[in-house]
A and B are shown apart, each in its own frame.
Chain A
Amino acid sequence: MPDTATEMRPPRLAERWIETRLPAELAEAVSGDLHVEYVERRARSGRMRADLWYWTQALMLRGGSLRRASRRLAVVQPTHERSGPGRAARDHSFLLEIPMSVHDVKYALRRLLRTPGFTLVAVLSLALGIGANTAMFSIVNAVLLREIPVTNPEELVEVYTSEDNGFAYSVSSHPDYLDIRERATAFENVIGSRTTIARVDLDGQPRVAFGELLSWDYFQALGIEMELGRSFVEEEDRTAGTHPVTILGYRMWTQDFGADPRILGESIELNGRPYTVIGVAPAEYTGSFPVLVSSFFVPLMMTNEIMGSAQLERRRTRGMFLKARLGDGVSVDRANAELATIGMALAEEYPETNENRALVAVPSGDVSLHPAVDGALAPVAGLLLGVVGLVLLIACANLASFLMARAEDRRKEIAVRLALGAGRQRLIGQLLVETTMIALLGGVAGVVLAQWTVGLMMALQPPMPIPVDIEISLDRTVLAFTAGVSLFAGFLFGLAPALQATNPDLAPTLKSEGTAGAGRRRWNLRNGLVVTQVAFSFVLLIGAGLFVRSLQKAQRIDPGFDVSAGALVWPMPELSGYETPDEVRAFYAAYEERLLADPAVTGVALADRLPLGSGIQTADYILPGVPSDLPNGEHEIDNATINDGYFEAMGIDLLAGRTFSDADMGGPPVIVVSEAFVTRYFPGEDVVGRLIQDGAGEDLQIVGVAENTKVRTLGEDPRPYVYHLQGQMTFFGMQVVVKGRGTSEELAVAARTSLDDVAPNMVLFEEIKTMNEHLALLLFPPRMAALLLTVFGGLALVLAGVGIYGVVSYAVAKRTRELGIRMSLGASARDVVGMAIGGGMRLVAIGGVVGVALAAAVTWSISSYLFGISPTDVATFVAIPLLLTTVALVAAWVPARRASGVDPVSALRSE
């Protein structure tokens, strides 16, 4: 087992495959030879290609010929040291010894081509199942499973600073980072990153790009080699603002610079300042967060320049994610003990900023996105994979059922071959080759479908708060998953029919038509498959029904503000050459004035955060006399900073007190609170005039109470909300809502025209959008859920319908004789059709009962994603069975009609 080239090991599964196909010694010689070439190829053309080559070699191995040659040799040289021919057969399981040869493949192909209709339907239905699974899995893979290509990932930990309100996994400040780096002995290195956006100017076309600020040793510590050039050196991260250098992300390098290696030494403009390109990151490393693709990396010491404000030196400004590599033999517990001590020391030295803040390390392997988010994502991922898994199972059940019908028809042929001495294994092998080929074709078509689906889903614009690329690709893991799923499916739906068709109990088949003993058991298995399909379809359709109903309810909710025509603009003055707060304020004032001068515009609302927008914004407040759950005794409340015209423009009524006015500018800080704020914290009181304090202890006077609006999600209960007045707080990134006469589109044009007048070079965070688009974003998750489940549920319904059709039509064909007897004894055509339908519907009834019970048992797991309805919603649980019954009746009736056409005489004569 020990081996100098362990890291260059060929795919294990492929090696195992060779071992199961060949006698031990031959397998050793062959895989050893392949190993040598594999290592060469991998060094030459990379792992992906080498793996692919190895797999091809392994799968193309002519196991049959090799085993025959080896067996003949053993006959000639019985005393030869070579391992005996029979041993391999006994070593391995029955199934793996099933011989498959090129001949079988050709034979199977011929058979499949002879029934192109069946093949097409089989491949397509599998492709749908496999495609759905591949698409889902590739998303889950990109978000939760993707491994960053770092050396010894098991030594890495994530280091978090807690919030003073007790939330454990928050970001750290740069001064804290430097202190941890300096004081901690448990780590080999501590590295830090901070995500940022910057204006990138390429050919005079400014746009906002997503990037990262990194400690100089970030790449070295992770063991990531540059694609081109070098990574940062210590010198470049020692003094603030002195080394404008950058490493480009692989995607930016290929998309914007055509992968031109001459980019090294050139400079690109970030926020108007030239940065020299010193390197290009490798394709495998897209940034420190999965799914987000960083366009550029710059040293941490350039933070102030990129961020546009002095953030580097401030211990209060926390925005860094820290990682650390554990030193030799250091446990996570020991590291945590040391971090706790450092955290306490910092709290003592800097009580202003660090009181009640602790440091904690979590092994990186336990974290996918973030400890707080992972817990919520895993069940969603499980749910999605469960849904698509069900679709695949239904497709498999369908195919198995079809194949059993086909095998039934071949039963006599097979029985004759068995009787003439054909090996059962060989026959099973042939049948399995056929199903495996269907499965693999389905897999290939599924990958194509999946790629298309993922592209489509990405085009639907997921509600990401930042304009970034999302890296979801069909990588090795995904393709391996698909291959696995396809083969599994092939065996799943192929094995049962194959085993059964080759059942060595020949006598009944040879003797008579297939209605006797053995036939009865087979028949039941097919019925079982139909029951399974119906049951699974029920589960999916009920899930779909629940989500659709939930979506309908969500769309009817009043968000509490005016959702009629409007346009949203998100300017980024701090990235557009406006440096001081005064300049920024002047821009907004000028823009607002210009907009209001347009006769079509009736109101302009400014806010640093819009209700139902992306992201959550809260601050801690001190509410005298109100007990708190948080360790710092404060209250974490959602807030926004707005202009004085906000309430009117947004159509939010004031319930008490007044709104902001010009007179408040420069005066003592005043706030407006939401109705929910009053009912939660000061029920029944008149709060106008009351003083509360912000986290820094400064007094805030409540001057008004506004009606509630939805804040984070449509489904939430009324949420306390605090409005601050723009101008009384320093601010960045205000969004502008333009309301007026005309359509949203017309207002968007007006917003653009005014912007071009006031600030033609303004960089926008995202394109100007309409109010409808803003709201659509919010309904994205429920809409996606409803859409996906409806599509999958519909798919399941069609598959189940086809299954029922198949069973009934087969039953009619097999029972021709019996039906003929019944008709000759006086049964009417109606009776006969009723009987045939009844047989099918009995299965549907059983499947329905099982399915409804199953659905009732599993829908609780989605209750937290449903809005306004219970997971056992009566309407859904009534409507879906009705729908399915109708479909089933039609599916059974069509073939059953044929039964009435049976001619008693010819039916009795047949066979």
Chain B
Amino acid sequence: MPKGDHLGDLEELMLLSVLRLGEDAHGGGVRDELGARAQRTVSISTVYVTLMRLEEKGYVRSWKGEPTGGRGGKAKRHYSVTPEGRAALEAVRTVRADMWAGIPDATDA
């Protein structure tokens, strides 16, 4: 499967979460963000499987952080969105905007 193929719904939300979180983007943060903003409850396994898939596609990159307190002395894995990831997100937005164009607001109808 060539890189940068299709961007799934969850992948899209997750990329956005990483983008929003900026410096503090890591698995747990992404999971919280998805729960809080998108009302999506996902398991920790799903979060990491998806992040790794995004990394495989080249949309995010990751690096190991320093061990911190409050996590039982365990290091975080930090994530940030790559320019390719950003481009893919923009592409989705453009498609969506095109599709929405000309559809009246539900509240106005």
Q: Which residues of A contact B (CB under 8 A)?
A: 1-5, 9-10, 15, 25-26, 28-37, 39, 57, 60-62, 65-66, 69-70, 72-73, 76-77, 81
Contact = CB atoms under 8 A, between A and B. Distances in A.
B27 to A, nearest CB: 5
Contacts of B64: 25, 81
A29 B55 contact: no
A61 B76 contact: no
B87 interface: no
A583 B40 CA distance: 76
13 contacts: A3-B69, A15-B72, A29-B76, A32-B72, A32-B74, A33-B44, A33-B71, A34-B28, A34-B44, A35-B72, A36-B28, A66-B45, A69-B53
Contacts of B26: 29, 33
A61 B28 contact: no
B69 to A, nearest CB: 4
A73 B56 CA distance: 5
A26 B48 contact: yes
Nearest to B55: A73
A76 B58 CA distance: 9
B77 A62 contact: no
Nearest to A10: B72
A69 B52 contact: yes
Given A3-B69, A73-B56, A31 B49 contact: no
B45 A62 contact: yes
B73 interface: yes
B43 interface: yes
Given A73-B52, A76-B56, A39 B70 contact: yes
Interface residues on B, range: 20 to 34
A5 to B, nearest CB: 6
Contact of A33 (B28, B49, B73): B28
A65 to B, nearest CB: 5
A9 B72 contact: yes
Interface of B: 26-28, 31, 43-46, 48-49, 52-53, 55-56, 63-64, 69-77
B84 to A, nearest CB: 13
Closest 3 A/B residue pairs (Cβ): A33-B28, A32-B74, A29-B77
Contacts of A57: 43-44
Contacts of B56: 69, 72-73, 76-77
A5 B69 contact: yes
Among B26, B63, B70, the most chain A Cβ lie within 10 Å of the Cβ of: B70
A25 B77 contact: yes
A33 B55 CA distance: 19
Contacts of A1: 73
A530 to B, nearest CB: 43
B74 A35 contact: yes
A520 B75 CA distance: 53
A36 B27 contact: no
A2 B68 CA distance: 10
A31 B76 CA distance: 10
Contacts of A15: 72
B45 A28 contact: no
Contacts of B48: 26, 29-30, 66, 69
Contact of A29 (B70, B73, B75): B75
Given A29-B77, A33-B27, A36-B28, A70 B52 contact: yes
Contacts of A69: 48-49, 52-53, 56
A164 to B, nearest CB: 55
Among A10, A35, A66, A69, the most chain B Cβ lie within 10 Å of the Cβ of: A69
Contacts of A34: 28, 44
A3 B72 contact: yes
Given A29-B26, A60-B43, A73-B56, A36 B49 contact: no
B44 A36 contact: no
Contacts of A36: 28, 70-71
B3 to A, nearest CB: 9
A71 to B, nearest CB: 10
Among A28, A37, A65, A72, the most chain B Cβ lie within 10 Å of the Cβ of: A28
Nearest to A28: B74
B56 to A, nearest CB: 5
Contacts of A2: 73
A37 B70 contact: no
B44 A5 contact: no
A880 B43 CA distance: 57
Contact of A65 (B27, B49, B69, B76): B49
A808 B53 CA distance: 55
B6 to A, nearest CB: 17
A3 B76 CA distance: 15
Contacts of B76: 29, 32-33
B71 to A, nearest CB: 4
A2 B70 CA distance: 10
Given A66-B49, A81-B63, A4 B44 contact: no
B75 A30 contact: no
B71 A35 contact: yes
A72 B46 CA distance: 16
Contact of B70 (A5, A60, A77, A81): A5
Given A29-B76, A62-B49, A66-B45, A4 B55 contact: no
Given A31-B72, A69-B53, A61 B45 contact: yes
Nearest to A65: B49
Given A57-B44, A69-B48, A73-B56, A31 B70 contact: no
A359 B105 CA distance: 87
B2 to A, nearest CB: 12
Given A2-B73, A28-B75, 12 more contacts: A1-B73, A3-B69, A3-B70, A4-B69, A28-B77, A29-B26, A30-B44, A30-B48, A32-B72, A35-B74, A66-B45, A69-B53
Contact of A32 (B28, B31, B45, B55): B28
B85 to A, nearest CB: 15
Nearest to B29: A33
Contacts of A76: 56
A9 B56 CA distance: 33
A324 B70 CA distance: 35
Contacts of B70: 3-5, 35-36, 39
Among A9, A15, A36, A77, the most chain B Cβ lie within 10 Å of the Cβ of: A36
Contacts of B31: 33
Nearest to B52: A69
Among A3, A32, A81, the most chain B Cβ lie within 10 Å of the Cβ of: A32
B66 to A, nearest CB: 11
Nearest to B51: A69
A740 B76 CA distance: 83
Nearest to B32: A37
B58 to A, nearest CB: 8
B80 to A, nearest CB: 15
Given A39-B70, A61-B44, A29 B63 contact: no
Contacts of B52: 66, 69-70, 72-73
Contacts of B55: 73, 77
Contacts of B71: 32-33, 35-36
A33 B75 CA distance: 9
Nearest to B62: A82
A65 B28 contact: no
A446 B10 CA distance: 41
Contacts of B73: 1-3
A36 to B, nearest CB: 6
Nearest to A3: B73
Contacts of B75: 28-29, 32
A149 to B, nearest CB: 23
Contacts of A65: 45, 49
Among A2, A10, A35, the most chain B Cβ lie within 10 Å of the Cβ of: A35
Nearest to B43: A60
Contacts of A32: 28, 71-72, 74-76
B37 to A, nearest CB: 17
